[in-house]
Structure 1
Amino acid sequence: MAALVCAIGLLPWLSRTDPALTVLKARSVERDPTPETLRAIREGLGLDDGPSALLGHWLGGLLHADAGRSWVSDTEVLPAVLQALGASLLLMAGALVVAAVTVGVVCARTLRPGSRGQLGGRRPGGTGSAMLAALPEFLVASVLASVIGVQLGWLPALGWYGPRWMLLPSLALGLPVGAVLGRMLDDLLPAAFTEPWALAAAARGVPPTSLVRKALRRCAPALLPNLGLFMVGLTGGSVAVEQIFDIPGLGRLTLRAALAQDLPVLQTGTLMLMILATAATLLARTGMRGLIGPALRDGALHSLHRPTQPAPRFTPLVYGLLLAAVIALGLPRDPLALDTTARLQAPSAAHPFGTDALGRDVLARIAHGAPNTLGIALAVSAVALVGGVLFGLLPRLSGPLVDTVNSVPPVLAALLVTGVAGGGPWTPALAVAVVAWSPLAAHTSALLQQERATVHLTATRAFGAGPGYLFWHELLPAVLPPVVRHALLRLPGIALSLAALGFLGLGSQPPSPEWGLLLAENQPYVERAPWTVLAPATVLALLGALAVTAAGGARLPRPRPWPKRRPVRRGGPGPAAPQPEPTRHTALTSSPTGTPRRI
């Protein structure tokens, strides 16, 4: 955390731009940046003293509840940050309520009494939740604001003045989060319903509602670490949603401070995010221990990740063929050809996905942007999976790192990476990869902790299995498949993070056909020409459905049992010695007439 705060303190110097020039542009655009004016700003802000002096002055002020004054607005920093934090926490609470309802809808089939999921079978469907999880938050926010807020007028779409103003942004943030958590919970419930305690409770006539409540409690500890990550992400990572609905939240405040190089506001906002991340992680760990109880210590749990029936192979094949067909149809077309006479045309035979504001074919731009978007998303997902598993297997090392990394929104990470490595096409990928491994590491650590407390692992250790055998044959086959499914489930989310950076202007630049840039360019025309936004959003949802259905088949084969020992032959090689006949035991018993007889 100290290293992160120091890195943010160095951001104005790492960005290779004059902080005084940035502050002058933020204060007054019309004023000329003369050397005398820039020199006066440096003296007033203390920039000539260097970053170490500024950082020490800021830390010293925190001891007296004084975070300094803003370089741009010249107002007190701490009251503004606390007010923005209150708005973000209120928005987070509303999004969590929406996410909880969405989780219930996603898991409704499994929670229904007598369903195949409760009998240990494979759960049906679930592609609707996959598509919902693949929708960008800023796209959902744009559609809700334009359709429900502007066209229908049912709810206010701009501002932050009361409970009615928080409904639409809570829906935009909570629906994708609830879909992801619902898929993760739906992956754990069947094993919980087939544990001995559940079977015994069902045999004794325990009501189904009570059984469902106990099963949810059994599966909750594996989800609590990721729930803590989502809480921090909803607070600091909802920058696009806060900008669309004009919400004075902490994420937007931090982003504006980073762009304007307003160092006191940036450092204080990041510190608040880190404190929130630490508190959420501690609450998640305390809740995990409270729900499981002494079973973690006594080794009395059962594994929730036993091999199940294989997922259908035709569903991901269908989605993959549809995605490949879209790309194949659009590659022969020119994505940069301009036709001002065909601006914002509806889908037709000549343009199956319509045209954008410059008359360019939307299908061609989607197809040509697919290799860049999908390739970077797959590379970042692979790096995040490897890093998450490696760090998750070392919980003492990954715990503090997860707490710190999770407190950095992807937008702020992109700014830090840009300041250190400079701009370029791989800058958004590096920024997303820096923070994408933390949910997988938290998931791995939670599963590893529960798996080490299972009964079968204790029994295998009692039979003489060493640490190497336990890791390769028991722990890894139980932990790796659900983490791989989680990584595949997050593949669309990583693509969306890249798209969000493009939407905010921190990713690819025009005329690149990257999918995030397509959404950003066409978002102002969502009312007049909705196909310009719905087409790339549908392809993203198709990618999400493909990732989730493919994740259902991500599992390792059953571990092979210990090799049987061959009988030791005495006397050297040759035919085996004959086995002695079993000893005959005789006993006396009484016949019905009372006469003793031998058996």
Structure 2
Amino acid sequence: MSSLLPALSRGVTLLAVMVLIALLPWISGRDPAASILRARMGDQNPSPETLAAIREQLGLALGPVEHLQRWFVNLLHGDLGHSWISGAPILPGMIKALGVSLTLMSAAFTVALVTAALLCWPTLRRGLNGQDTRSSGLLAASLTAMPEFMLSALFLVVFSVWLDWFPPYGWQGAMHIVLPAFALGLPGGGLLGRLLTNAVAATFHERWIATWAVARFTRAQIARAVLRRSLPALMPQIGMIIVAMTGGAIAVEQVFSIPGLGRAVLGAASAQDLPALQGGILILLLNALAIGVIANLVRVALLGRALGLGALPVATIAPRPLNRRLWIVPVLVLVLLVMLVALGLPRDPFTSSYLRLQPPSIALPLGADGLGRDVLARIAHGALSTIGMAVVVTLISLVIGLAVGLMPRLAIGPIEITKATPPTIAALIVVAAMGPSAMGAVIAVTSVAWAPLAAHTAALVSEIRAQPHVRIAPILGVGALRLIPRSILPAIFWPVLRHAMLRLPGNALALAALGFLGLGPRPPSPEWGLILADALPYVERAPLAVIMPVLALALMSILGVSLASLTRR
């Protein structure tokens, strides 16, 4: 029975997610009939008879159980229903939008592969020359930490507005795909390059490398063998990188006005078109799961017979000693953030007391936004708002991750599916249930941020339970309820806590991304993502209003990169 627990956990979790999607009209607590009438005719005071007729037309009068049964039956026949707003079938439009998104993701993945190859090439060259293959990975980590929506805004300002090299919006030709592909592909390429560099460096420390060199294999043959040996362990991560692109594509499509699946789902969420939102989320989740399955199949194919024979070699590579000068970067970033908050906190972030898009001056150091509000004040107050929410997310995720990770076999399904769900997709479900808000953004990011901590906890728990003093405890009469607080929690708490703190900057950037997409705090909240979204319509007239929140987000990214680099040495 214990061997069936992981498969049972995965199946139950996937079924629960599908039920949640199907029941969104009832979970939301809002009357879909009233939303439809407002969207179609602007009717603010419909009669009860009109609302009842709309509910009957939509099948909502059946109740949640009957609606759930009908939804699953229609789903088995490939029918996602009709849009509540336009009345058109949902599936054809979603398939067309999915084609656009897959085209964008393919171009972005090509950018990611080229970026990873360029980042890994120095390590591969040093290994072929018999030199030290260890690398700081700072450039790769810097690319990894840059969120897609921030890069999109930056590229839009620099390459479309200032240099006029590429079109800013649309999807009409090859030139329109360049900036979106780079904005979406560079973070994934940085992560892939970092993982590939570490894997290649470890492979060059396996014994067979020396054997092949003595046997006079060519450098090209050794290079191909090293890459084939390094790639299998990366396939699950490559799958996760592509899955993350499905979430990042939503922001990129929104910035560049690309008619892809992400933008279609975001529009459905804004219009409260729940059938379209249900269909889009389901397609996104199935796409993510399919990518994960394909990645694992490729991994097994690359390993070949060595996996079944247990013949995989083991590498030993010593870490570099810690260079204390590396602490300069995070300390400097913290000082800049503190100075930014200290200068802007006494200023009013809400009053429109300046001219619209007023340029910077001594009295107004960062200028004014499109409504005449002080940009410095809004960024400073936004730092407290965004980082404060990130702290809440991190602490709640830590508690959930520790609790779930203590049951590794039972929790494998929720952990795997949650890790395959980008925060943006989780936010779409939360927005459909309770509307956009700061609390909704916290819930959305928390709902996926706990999974890496739970996976870390589960791995540590498995190691600790294999230790002699823990294995012998039940024989000595120590029950599970006493074993967990006495032996297991003290050993895992501090490593998982450090892991959680490292994810604090990433959680802040995820919250900012939701605010940017309109899935988080509502105006006039001075939240970093919302500030950037408010400034984008004026990018051609006041690019500085876009650059300043981008720089604030970049500081948060650099802080996360610096802390992660220090702890992994």
TM-score normalised by L of structure 1? 0.77
Match of 1:336 in 2: 348
| Maintained 8 Å contact 2:342/2:380 | yes
Which one has the bigger helix percentage? Answer: 2
C-alpha distance in structure 2 between counterparts of 1:36 and 1:345, whole Å: 52
Unmatched 5+ stretches in structure 2 = 1-13, 473-488
Alpha-carbon deviation of 1:29? 2.7
Q: Structure 1 residues 235 and 329 mapped into 2: Cα distance closer, same or farther (>3 Å)? A: closer
| Maintained 8 Å contact 1:276/1:407 | no
Match of 2:445 in 1: 432
**1:435-450 pair list within 5 angstroms:** 435-438=448-451
Match of 1:273 in 2: 284
| Maintained 8 Å contact 1:370/1:514 | yes
Match of 1:27 in 2: 40
Match of 1:380 in 2: 393
Q: Structure 1 residues 85 and 125 mapped into 2: Cα distance closer, same or farther (>3 Å)? A: closer
**1:162-201 pair list within 5 angstroms:** 162-201=173-212
Q: Structure 1 residues 209 and 363 mapped into 2: Cα distance closer, same or farther (>3 Å)? A: farther
1:11 aligns with 2:39: no
Match of 2:257 in 1: 246
| Maintained 8 Å contact 2:247/2:424 | no
Match of 2:168 in 1: 157
Alpha-carbon deviation of 1:308? 0.5
Q: Structure 1 residues 527 and 488 mapped into 2: Cα distance closer, same or farther (>3 Å)? A: farther
Alpha-carbon deviation of 1:96? 0.6
C-alpha distance in structure 2 between counterparts of 1:86 and 1:288, whole Å: 26
| Maintained 8 Å contact 1:141/1:169 | yes
**Counterpart secondary structure, 2:566:** coil
**Counterpart secondary structure, 1:238:** helix
C-alpha distance in structure 1 between counterparts of 2:397 and 2:185, whole Å: 24
**Counterpart secondary structure, 1:426:** helix
Q: More deviation in 102-111 or 172-181?
A: 102-111
Match of 2:379 in 1: 366
C-alpha distance in structure 2 between counterparts of 1:305 and 1:382, whole Å: 35
Match of 1:585 in 2: none
1:19-76 deviations in whole A, cap 9, x for unaligned? 1011122223367533333222112112211122222222222333333222221112
| Maintained 8 Å contact 2:326/2:566 | no
Q: Give the length in aligned residue pairs.
A: 537
1:148-195 deviations in whole A, cap 9, x for unaligned? 345655434333344443222211211122122223333333222222
Q: Structure 1 residues 61 and 427 mapped into 2: Cα distance closer, same or farther (>3 Å)? A: closer
Q: Structure 1 residues 551 and 151 mapped into 2: Cα distance closer, same or farther (>3 Å)? A: closer
Alpha-carbon deviation of 1:296? 4.1
Match of 2:232 in 1: 221
Alpha-carbon deviation of 1:397? 4.4
Match of 1:496 in 2: 509
Q: More deviation in 514-523 or 15-24?
A: 514-523
**1:62-461 pair list within 5 angstroms:** 62-113=75-126, 119-121=132-134, 123-124=135-136, 126=138, 128-149=139-160, 152-303=163-314, 306-333=317-344, 334-336=346-348, 338=351, 340-341=353-354, 343-381=356-394, 384=397, 397-402=410-415, 404-406=417-419, 408-417=421-430, 425-438=438-451
Alpha-carbon deviation of 1:361? 4.0
Alpha-carbon deviation of 1:241? 1.7
C-alpha distance in structure 2 between counterparts of 1:442 and 1:89, whole Å: 29
**Counterpart secondary structure, 2:29:** coil
CA RMSD of aligned residues (A): 4.0
C-alpha distance in structure 2 between counterparts of 1:370 and 1:13, whole Å: 36
Larger Rg: 1
C-alpha distance in structure 1 between counterparts of 2:215 and 2:424, whole Å: 54
C-alpha distance in structure 2 between counterparts of 1:96 and 1:482, whole Å: 33
Alpha-carbon deviation of 1:502? 0.6
1:526 aligns with 2:539: yes
